[in-house]
Amino acid sequence: MDFQLTEEQLAVQAAAREFAQTELWAGVIERDEHQKFPAEQIKKMGELGFLGMMVSPEYGGGGMDTVSYVLAMEEISKVDASCSVIMSVNNSLVCWGLEKYGTEEQKRKYLPGLTSGEIIGAFALSEPEAGSDATSQRTTAEDKGDYYLLNGTKNWITNGTTASVYLVVAQTNPELKHRGINVLIVEKGMEGFVQGPKENKLGIRGSDTCSLMFNDVKVPKENRIGEDGFGFKFAMQVLAGGRIGIAAQALGIASGSYELALKYSKERKAFGVPISQHQAIQFKLADMATTIDAARLLCLQAAADKDAHRDYAKSGAMAKLFASKTAMDSSVEAVQIHGGYGFVKEYHVERLMRDAKITQIYEGTSEIQKIVISREILK
Ligand code: CAA
Protein backbone atom coordinates (compact mmCIF):
# COMPACT_ATOMS: atom_id res chain seq x y z
CA MET A 1 0.00 0.00 0.00
CA ASP A 2 1.23 3.48 -0.85
CA PHE A 3 0.69 5.88 2.04
CA GLN A 4 2.37 8.83 0.31
CA LEU A 5 0.32 11.92 -0.42
CA THR A 6 0.67 13.48 -3.88
CA GLU A 7 2.19 16.93 -4.45
CA GLU A 8 -1.30 18.33 -5.01
CA GLN A 9 -2.68 16.81 -1.82
CA LEU A 10 0.26 18.15 0.20
CA ALA A 11 -0.30 21.60 -1.31
CA VAL A 12 -3.98 21.56 -0.31
CA GLN A 13 -3.03 20.47 3.21
CA ALA A 14 -0.43 23.26 3.49
CA ALA A 15 -2.87 25.88 2.17
CA ALA A 16 -5.57 24.81 4.64
CA ARG A 17 -3.07 24.84 7.51
CA GLU A 18 -1.84 28.31 6.56
CA PHE A 19 -5.39 29.63 6.25
CA ALA A 20 -6.47 28.14 9.58
CA GLN A 21 -3.47 29.45 11.48
CA THR A 22 -3.48 32.94 9.97
CA GLU A 23 -7.18 33.61 9.44
CA LEU A 24 -9.09 31.44 11.91
CA TRP A 25 -6.98 31.29 15.06
CA ALA A 26 -7.37 34.95 16.02
CA GLY A 27 -10.97 35.54 17.00
CA VAL A 28 -12.04 31.92 17.39
CA ILE A 29 -12.52 32.25 21.17
CA GLU A 30 -14.65 35.36 20.71
CA ARG A 31 -16.75 33.79 17.97
CA ASP A 32 -17.38 30.80 20.25
CA GLU A 33 -18.18 32.97 23.26
CA HIS A 34 -20.66 35.19 21.39
CA GLN A 35 -21.97 32.52 19.01
CA LYS A 36 -20.84 34.72 16.15
CA PHE A 37 -21.28 33.22 12.70
CA PRO A 38 -17.88 33.34 10.89
CA ALA A 39 -19.23 35.23 7.87
CA GLU A 40 -15.93 36.84 6.80
CA GLN A 41 -14.00 33.61 7.31
CA ILE A 42 -16.51 31.62 5.27
CA LYS A 43 -16.31 34.19 2.49
CA LYS A 44 -12.52 33.70 2.37
CA MET A 45 -12.96 29.93 2.45
CA GLY A 46 -15.14 30.27 -0.63
CA GLU A 47 -12.52 32.40 -2.38
CA LEU A 48 -9.84 29.83 -1.55
CA GLY A 49 -11.94 26.97 -2.92
CA PHE A 50 -12.71 25.17 0.36
CA LEU A 51 -16.49 25.22 -0.06
CA GLY A 52 -16.81 23.20 -3.24
CA MET A 53 -13.61 21.18 -3.20
CA MET A 54 -14.87 18.08 -4.99
CA VAL A 55 -17.16 19.82 -7.48
CA SER A 56 -16.04 19.87 -11.09
CA PRO A 57 -14.45 23.18 -12.27
CA GLU A 58 -17.26 23.35 -14.83
CA TYR A 59 -19.58 24.36 -11.97
CA GLY A 60 -17.03 26.49 -10.12
CA GLY A 61 -15.55 23.74 -7.93
CA GLY A 62 -11.98 22.68 -7.27
CA GLY A 63 -12.21 19.26 -8.95
CA MET A 64 -10.27 17.74 -6.06
CA ASP A 65 -10.40 14.28 -4.56
CA THR A 66 -11.87 13.22 -1.21
CA VAL A 67 -8.39 12.68 0.26
CA SER A 68 -7.64 16.39 -0.26
CA TYR A 69 -10.97 17.24 1.33
CA VAL A 70 -10.10 15.14 4.41
CA LEU A 71 -6.70 16.84 4.70
CA ALA A 72 -8.25 20.31 4.50
CA MET A 73 -11.03 19.41 6.95
CA GLU A 74 -8.45 18.20 9.49
CA GLU A 75 -6.41 21.41 9.31
CA ILE A 76 -9.41 23.73 9.56
CA SER A 77 -10.98 21.68 12.39
CA LYS A 78 -7.77 21.86 14.42
CA VAL A 79 -8.50 25.54 14.84
CA ASP A 80 -12.22 26.16 14.29
CA ALA A 81 -14.73 23.32 14.14
CA SER A 82 -17.55 25.81 13.58
CA CYS A 83 -16.01 26.77 10.24
CA SER A 84 -15.39 23.14 9.37
CA VAL A 85 -18.97 22.00 9.96
CA ILE A 86 -20.21 24.75 7.64
CA MET A 87 -17.60 23.58 5.12
CA SER A 88 -18.52 19.92 5.56
CA VAL A 89 -22.27 20.39 5.10
CA ASN A 90 -21.75 22.63 2.08
CA ASN A 91 -19.27 20.25 0.42
CA SER A 92 -20.58 16.80 1.30
CA LEU A 93 -24.30 17.08 1.90
CA VAL A 94 -25.21 19.84 -0.52
CA CYS A 95 -22.68 20.27 -3.37
CA TRP A 96 -21.76 16.61 -3.76
CA GLY A 97 -25.40 15.46 -3.88
CA LEU A 98 -26.44 18.24 -6.24
CA GLU A 99 -23.61 17.53 -8.64
CA LYS A 100 -24.16 13.77 -8.62
CA TYR A 101 -27.95 13.71 -8.88
CA GLY A 102 -29.11 17.20 -9.83
CA THR A 103 -30.37 18.11 -13.29
CA GLU A 104 -28.11 20.22 -15.51
CA GLU A 105 -30.35 23.19 -14.79
CA GLN A 106 -30.16 22.68 -11.01
CA LYS A 107 -26.38 22.36 -11.16
CA ARG A 108 -25.95 25.52 -13.22
CA LYS A 109 -28.36 27.42 -11.02
CA TYR A 110 -26.96 26.56 -7.59
CA LEU A 111 -23.43 25.15 -7.73
CA PRO A 112 -21.43 28.24 -8.79
CA GLY A 113 -22.84 30.25 -5.86
CA LEU A 114 -22.41 27.38 -3.39
CA THR A 115 -18.82 26.64 -4.40
CA SER A 116 -17.72 30.29 -4.33
CA GLY A 117 -19.30 30.95 -0.92
CA GLU A 118 -21.64 33.57 -2.36
CA ILE A 119 -24.44 31.45 -0.90
CA ILE A 120 -24.43 28.62 1.66
CA GLY A 121 -26.34 25.36 1.57
CA ALA A 122 -28.14 23.34 4.25
CA PHE A 123 -29.43 19.78 4.44
CA ALA A 124 -32.70 19.21 6.26
CA LEU A 125 -33.43 15.62 7.29
CA SER A 126 -33.82 15.56 11.09
CA GLU A 127 -37.20 16.23 12.61
CA PRO A 128 -38.49 16.57 16.17
CA GLU A 129 -39.34 12.86 16.04
CA ALA A 130 -37.06 11.57 13.28
CA GLY A 131 -33.35 11.90 13.98
CA SER A 132 -31.75 8.46 13.98
CA ASP A 133 -34.95 6.90 12.62
CA ALA A 134 -34.66 8.76 9.35
CA THR A 135 -37.34 6.85 7.44
CA SER A 136 -40.09 8.19 9.76
CA GLN A 137 -40.41 11.54 8.02
CA ARG A 138 -43.43 13.56 9.12
CA THR A 139 -42.72 16.47 6.79
CA THR A 140 -44.97 16.04 3.77
CA ALA A 141 -44.48 17.03 0.15
CA GLU A 142 -47.91 16.59 -1.39
CA ASP A 143 -47.88 16.20 -5.16
CA LYS A 144 -50.04 18.98 -6.62
CA GLY A 145 -49.26 18.52 -10.29
CA ASP A 146 -46.63 21.05 -11.20
CA TYR A 147 -45.56 21.73 -7.62
CA TYR A 148 -45.19 20.07 -4.19
CA LEU A 149 -46.98 21.47 -1.15
CA LEU A 150 -44.47 21.26 1.67
CA ASN A 151 -45.55 21.12 5.33
CA GLY A 152 -43.66 20.20 8.47
CA THR A 153 -40.82 21.01 10.82
CA LYS A 154 -37.11 20.20 10.69
CA ASN A 155 -34.75 20.28 13.67
CA TRP A 156 -31.04 20.85 14.29
CA ILE A 157 -30.32 22.25 10.86
CA THR A 158 -26.71 23.35 10.39
CA ASN A 159 -26.49 26.66 8.46
CA GLY A 160 -30.20 26.96 9.29
CA THR A 161 -30.43 30.74 9.39
CA THR A 162 -27.56 31.63 7.05
CA ALA A 163 -28.22 29.25 4.16
CA SER A 164 -29.95 30.35 0.98
CA VAL A 165 -30.50 26.86 -0.47
CA TYR A 166 -31.92 23.92 1.51
CA LEU A 167 -32.17 20.28 0.48
CA VAL A 168 -35.32 19.21 2.31
CA VAL A 169 -36.32 15.58 2.84
CA ALA A 170 -40.09 15.01 2.85
CA GLN A 171 -42.65 12.23 2.48
CA THR A 172 -44.80 12.24 -0.68
CA ASN A 173 -46.29 8.72 -0.64
CA PRO A 174 -46.55 7.43 2.96
CA GLU A 175 -47.88 4.06 1.81
CA LEU A 176 -44.55 3.46 0.05
CA LYS A 177 -42.68 4.19 3.31
CA HIS A 178 -39.06 5.28 2.63
CA ARG A 179 -39.56 4.68 -1.10
CA GLY A 180 -42.12 7.51 -1.10
CA ILE A 181 -39.65 10.11 0.18
CA ASN A 182 -38.38 13.00 -1.98
CA VAL A 183 -35.69 15.64 -1.58
CA LEU A 184 -36.68 19.14 -2.69
CA ILE A 185 -34.54 22.21 -3.21
CA VAL A 186 -36.10 24.98 -1.15
CA GLU A 187 -34.90 28.56 -1.37
CA LYS A 188 -34.91 31.04 1.47
CA GLY A 189 -37.70 33.52 0.91
CA MET A 190 -40.22 31.03 -0.47
CA GLU A 191 -43.61 31.91 0.96
CA GLY A 192 -44.45 29.91 4.08
CA PHE A 193 -40.81 28.98 4.85
CA VAL A 194 -39.72 30.22 8.28
CA GLN A 195 -36.44 29.72 10.18
CA GLY A 196 -36.56 29.37 13.97
CA PRO A 197 -34.22 31.04 16.45
CA LYS A 198 -30.57 30.02 16.63
CA GLU A 199 -29.96 27.23 19.17
CA ASN A 200 -27.68 28.02 22.15
CA LYS A 201 -25.26 25.10 21.88
CA LEU A 202 -22.56 23.44 23.99
CA GLY A 203 -20.05 23.45 21.12
CA ILE A 204 -19.52 24.55 17.51
CA ARG A 205 -21.12 27.75 18.74
CA GLY A 206 -20.01 29.82 15.76
CA SER A 207 -22.11 27.72 13.41
CA ASP A 208 -25.81 28.40 13.35
CA THR A 209 -28.28 25.65 14.06
CA CYS A 210 -32.03 26.13 14.08
CA SER A 211 -35.42 24.61 13.30
CA LEU A 212 -37.17 25.15 9.99
CA MET A 213 -40.91 25.43 9.56
CA PHE A 214 -42.72 24.84 6.27
CA ASN A 215 -46.31 26.01 6.08
CA ASP A 216 -47.89 25.30 2.70
CA VAL A 217 -44.68 26.10 0.84
CA LYS A 218 -45.15 25.66 -2.91
CA VAL A 219 -42.01 24.05 -4.32
CA PRO A 220 -41.87 23.72 -8.12
CA LYS A 221 -41.61 20.16 -9.44
CA GLU A 222 -38.31 20.99 -11.16
CA ASN A 223 -36.80 21.43 -7.66
CA ARG A 224 -37.05 17.71 -6.89
CA ILE A 225 -33.72 15.86 -6.92
CA GLY A 226 -33.80 12.61 -8.87
CA GLU A 227 -36.79 10.45 -9.72
CA ASP A 228 -39.97 10.43 -7.64
CA GLY A 229 -39.25 8.42 -4.46
CA PHE A 230 -35.45 8.65 -4.72
CA GLY A 231 -35.14 10.97 -1.70
CA PHE A 232 -34.26 8.44 1.00
CA LYS A 233 -31.52 6.80 -1.07
CA PHE A 234 -30.21 10.26 -1.89
CA ALA A 235 -30.11 11.14 1.81
CA MET A 236 -28.34 7.90 2.72
CA GLN A 237 -25.76 8.41 0.00
CA VAL A 238 -24.91 11.99 0.88
CA LEU A 239 -24.76 11.05 4.57
CA ALA A 240 -22.36 8.18 3.81
CA GLY A 241 -19.99 10.71 2.20
CA GLY A 242 -20.77 13.34 4.83
CA ARG A 243 -19.58 10.95 7.53
CA ILE A 244 -16.09 11.02 5.99
CA GLY A 245 -16.10 14.82 6.35
CA ILE A 246 -17.28 14.69 9.96
CA ALA A 247 -14.72 11.96 10.70
CA ALA A 248 -12.06 14.36 9.40
CA GLN A 249 -13.53 17.12 11.54
CA ALA A 250 -13.25 14.87 14.60
CA LEU A 251 -9.70 13.99 13.58
CA GLY A 252 -8.82 17.69 13.44
CA ILE A 253 -10.32 18.34 16.88
CA ALA A 254 -8.24 15.44 18.20
CA SER A 255 -4.99 16.48 16.53
CA GLY A 256 -5.52 20.15 17.41
CA SER A 257 -5.97 19.15 21.08
CA TYR A 258 -2.89 16.95 20.92
CA GLU A 259 -0.69 19.64 19.36
CA LEU A 260 -1.70 22.16 22.04
CA ALA A 261 -1.11 19.62 24.82
CA LEU A 262 2.28 18.62 23.42
CA LYS A 263 3.43 22.24 23.20
CA TYR A 264 2.16 23.05 26.68
CA SER A 265 3.79 19.96 28.19
CA LYS A 266 7.21 21.13 26.96
CA GLU A 267 6.74 24.63 28.38
CA ARG A 268 5.06 24.00 31.71
CA LYS A 269 7.34 23.00 34.55
CA ALA A 270 6.40 21.00 37.65
CA PHE A 271 8.71 19.40 40.20
CA GLY A 272 11.66 21.18 38.54
CA VAL A 273 11.25 19.81 35.00
CA PRO A 274 8.90 20.32 32.02
CA ILE A 275 5.85 18.14 32.63
CA SER A 276 6.63 16.29 29.36
CA GLN A 277 9.42 14.60 31.32
CA HIS A 278 6.94 12.98 33.68
CA GLN A 279 5.82 9.52 32.66
CA ALA A 280 2.19 10.28 33.57
CA ILE A 281 2.15 12.91 30.81
CA GLN A 282 4.25 10.85 28.38
CA PHE A 283 1.75 7.98 28.53
CA LYS A 284 -1.12 10.35 27.77
CA LEU A 285 0.77 11.84 24.81
CA ALA A 286 1.64 8.37 23.52
CA ASP A 287 -2.01 7.26 23.69
CA MET A 288 -3.17 10.42 21.96
CA ALA A 289 -0.57 10.19 19.17
CA THR A 290 -1.37 6.51 18.54
CA THR A 291 -5.15 6.85 18.38
CA ILE A 292 -4.92 10.01 16.25
CA ASP A 293 -2.70 8.23 13.72
CA ALA A 294 -5.16 5.32 13.63
CA ALA A 295 -8.09 7.73 13.16
CA ARG A 296 -6.23 9.48 10.33
CA LEU A 297 -5.59 6.18 8.56
CA LEU A 298 -9.29 5.28 8.81
CA CYS A 299 -10.28 8.68 7.42
CA LEU A 300 -7.85 8.36 4.52
CA GLN A 301 -8.99 4.78 3.85
CA ALA A 302 -12.62 5.90 3.61
CA ALA A 303 -11.64 8.84 1.37
CA ALA A 304 -9.53 6.56 -0.84
CA ASP A 305 -12.48 4.12 -1.10
CA LYS A 306 -14.73 6.95 -2.26
CA ASP A 307 -12.14 8.24 -4.75
CA ALA A 308 -11.65 4.73 -6.17
CA HIS A 309 -15.45 4.26 -6.47
CA ARG A 310 -15.39 1.42 -3.94
CA ASP A 311 -18.21 1.12 -1.40
CA TYR A 312 -17.47 3.52 1.45
CA ALA A 313 -20.52 3.11 3.71
CA LYS A 314 -18.61 0.84 6.11
CA SER A 315 -15.20 2.56 5.99
CA GLY A 316 -16.82 6.00 6.37
CA ALA A 317 -18.87 4.84 9.37
CA MET A 318 -15.78 3.21 10.93
CA ALA A 319 -13.78 6.41 10.43
CA LYS A 320 -16.51 8.52 12.02
CA LEU A 321 -17.04 6.12 14.92
CA PHE A 322 -13.36 5.92 15.78
CA ALA A 323 -12.34 9.50 15.02
CA SER A 324 -15.20 10.96 17.07
CA LYS A 325 -14.23 8.83 20.10
CA THR A 326 -10.62 9.90 19.56
CA ALA A 327 -11.70 13.55 19.47
CA MET A 328 -13.54 13.13 22.75
CA ASP A 329 -10.72 11.22 24.49
CA SER A 330 -7.89 13.43 23.19
CA SER A 331 -9.60 16.70 24.01
CA VAL A 332 -10.41 15.53 27.56
CA GLU A 333 -6.77 14.49 28.02
CA ALA A 334 -5.56 17.80 26.59
CA VAL A 335 -7.60 19.62 29.25
CA GLN A 336 -6.15 17.30 31.91
CA ILE A 337 -2.57 17.95 30.76
CA HIS A 338 -3.23 21.70 30.94
CA GLY A 339 -4.57 21.34 34.49
CA GLY A 340 -6.33 24.49 35.71
CA TYR A 341 -5.30 26.36 32.53
CA GLY A 342 -7.20 23.81 30.50
CA PHE A 343 -10.39 24.82 32.25
CA VAL A 344 -10.27 28.45 31.09
CA LYS A 345 -11.02 29.72 27.61
CA GLU A 346 -7.67 31.32 26.68
CA TYR A 347 -5.97 27.95 26.24
CA HIS A 348 -8.46 26.70 23.61
CA VAL A 349 -8.63 23.09 24.79
CA GLU A 350 -11.89 23.45 26.74
CA ARG A 351 -13.52 24.66 23.48
CA LEU A 352 -12.11 21.72 21.54
CA MET A 353 -13.51 19.39 24.23
CA ARG A 354 -16.97 20.96 23.89
CA ASP A 355 -16.75 20.85 20.09
CA ALA A 356 -15.72 17.18 20.13
CA LYS A 357 -19.04 15.96 21.56
CA ILE A 358 -21.14 16.85 18.54
CA THR A 359 -19.03 14.58 16.32
CA GLN A 360 -20.51 11.62 18.22
CA ILE A 361 -24.03 12.90 17.58
CA TYR A 362 -24.56 14.50 14.17
CA GLU A 363 -24.64 12.79 10.77
CA GLY A 364 -25.59 9.69 12.73
CA THR A 365 -24.75 9.02 16.37
CA SER A 366 -21.98 6.55 17.26
CA GLU A 367 -24.73 3.96 17.76
CA ILE A 368 -25.96 4.55 14.18
CA GLN A 369 -22.40 4.08 12.88
CA LYS A 370 -22.31 0.71 14.66
CA ILE A 371 -25.61 -0.23 12.99
CA VAL A 372 -24.19 0.69 9.56
CA ILE A 373 -20.92 -1.19 10.19
CA SER A 374 -22.54 -4.33 11.58
CA ARG A 375 -25.05 -4.49 8.71
CA GLU A 376 -22.21 -4.30 6.20
CA ILE A 377 -20.27 -7.01 8.05
CA LEU A 378 -23.28 -9.32 8.33
CA LYS A 379 -24.86 -8.86 4.90
N1 CAA B 1 -26.52 4.25 0.01
C2 CAA B 1 -27.62 4.02 -0.75
N3 CAA B 1 -28.75 3.48 -0.24
C4 CAA B 1 -28.77 3.18 1.08
C5 CAA B 1 -27.66 3.41 1.92
C6 CAA B 1 -26.50 3.96 1.33
N7 CAA B 1 -25.38 4.21 2.03
N8 CAA B 1 -27.98 3.04 3.17
C9 CAA B 1 -29.26 2.58 3.12
N10 CAA B 1 -29.72 2.68 1.87
C11 CAA B 1 -31.03 2.28 1.35
C12 CAA B 1 -31.26 0.80 1.56
O13 CAA B 1 -30.72 0.05 0.49
C14 CAA B 1 -32.77 0.72 1.58
O15 CAA B 1 -33.29 0.78 0.27
P16 CAA B 1 -34.35 -0.30 -0.29
O17 CAA B 1 -35.35 -0.58 0.78
O18 CAA B 1 -34.92 0.35 -1.50
O19 CAA B 1 -33.53 -1.50 -0.60
C20 CAA B 1 -33.17 2.02 2.23
O21 CAA B 1 -32.06 2.91 2.09
C22 CAA B 1 -33.52 1.87 3.69
O23 CAA B 1 -32.41 1.35 4.34
P24 CAA B 1 -32.56 0.60 5.72
O25 CAA B 1 -33.59 -0.46 5.63
O26 CAA B 1 -31.19 0.20 6.12
O27 CAA B 1 -33.13 1.77 6.65
P28 CAA B 1 -33.35 1.83 8.20
O29 CAA B 1 -34.57 2.58 8.47
O30 CAA B 1 -33.20 0.49 8.82
O31 CAA B 1 -32.18 2.80 8.76
C32 CAA B 1 -30.17 3.92 9.17
C33 CAA B 1 -30.95 2.95 8.28
C34 CAA B 1 -28.73 3.62 8.89
C35 CAA B 1 -30.41 3.72 10.66
C36 CAA B 1 -30.57 5.34 8.71
O37 CAA B 1 -31.87 5.65 9.10
C38 CAA B 1 -29.64 6.42 9.24
O39 CAA B 1 -28.57 6.61 8.67
N40 CAA B 1 -30.04 7.15 10.29
C41 CAA B 1 -29.26 8.27 10.79
C42 CAA B 1 -29.60 9.51 10.05
C43 CAA B 1 -28.60 10.59 10.25
O44 CAA B 1 -27.42 10.41 10.01
N45 CAA B 1 -29.08 11.76 10.65
C46 CAA B 1 -28.24 12.90 10.75
C47 CAA B 1 -28.91 14.10 10.18
S48 CAA B 1 -28.00 15.08 9.05
C49 CAA B 1 -26.90 15.99 9.96
O50 CAA B 1 -26.63 15.73 11.08
C51 CAA B 1 -26.24 17.06 9.20
C52 CAA B 1 -25.66 18.14 10.02
O53 CAA B 1 -26.34 19.06 10.40
C54 CAA B 1 -24.23 18.18 10.30
pLDDT in tens, 90-149: 999 999 999 999 999 999 999 999 999 999 999 999 999 888 898 999 999 999 999 999
Own/partner long-range contacts of 346-350 (Cβ < 8 Å, ≥24 apart):
346/29, 347/260, 347/264, 348/28, 348/29, 348/256, 348/260, 349/257, 349/260, 349/261
123 Cα distance to chain centroid:
11
Give mean pLDDT, residues 202-211. 98
Residue 203 to residue 86: CA distance in whole angstroms: 14
Looking at the predicted structure, is the pLDDT value of residue 366 above 90? yes
- Written out in words, the top-level CATH class of the domain with range 122-231 is mainly beta
Mean pLDDT of all residues belonging to the chain: 97
- For ligand 1, is residue 292 a contact (CB within 6 Å)? no
Determine the atom of ligand 1 nearest the C-alpha atom of 156: 53
Looking at the predicted structure, is the pLDDT value of residue 1 above 80? no
Homologous superfamily, domain 239-378: Butyryl-CoA Dehydrogenase, subunit A, domain 3 (1.20.140.10)
pLDDT in tens, 249-268: 999 999 999 999 999 999 99
Question: Ligand 1 pocket test: which of 91, 94, 95, 236 has the largest number of ligand atoms within 8 Å of its C-beta?
Answer: 236
**Where along the chain do its domains lie?**
7-120, 122-231, 239-378
| Residue of the CA atom closest to atom 27 of ligand 1 | 135
pLDDT of residue 131: 85
Give mean pLDDT, residues 272-283. 98
**91, 52 in Cβ contact below 8 A?**
yes
pLDDT in tens, 289-346: 999 999 999 999 999 999 999 999 999 999 999 999 999 999 999 999 999 999 999 9
Q: Which of 23, 74, 75, 363 is catalytic?
A: 363
Residue 130 to residue 114: CA distance in whole angstroms: 27
As its CATH architecture, domain 7-120 has: Orthogonal Bundle (1.10)
- For ligand 1, is residue 89 a contact (CB within 6 Å)? yes
Q: Given this chain, do its domains 7-120 and 122-231 carry the same CATH topology? A: no
Could you confirm whether 363 is annotated as catalytic?
yes
pLDDT of residue 2: 73
Give the phi and the psi of residue 55 in degrees, each rounded to 5: -75, 145
**251, 74 in Cβ contact below 8 A?**
yes
Give strand pairing partners of 366.
Answer: none
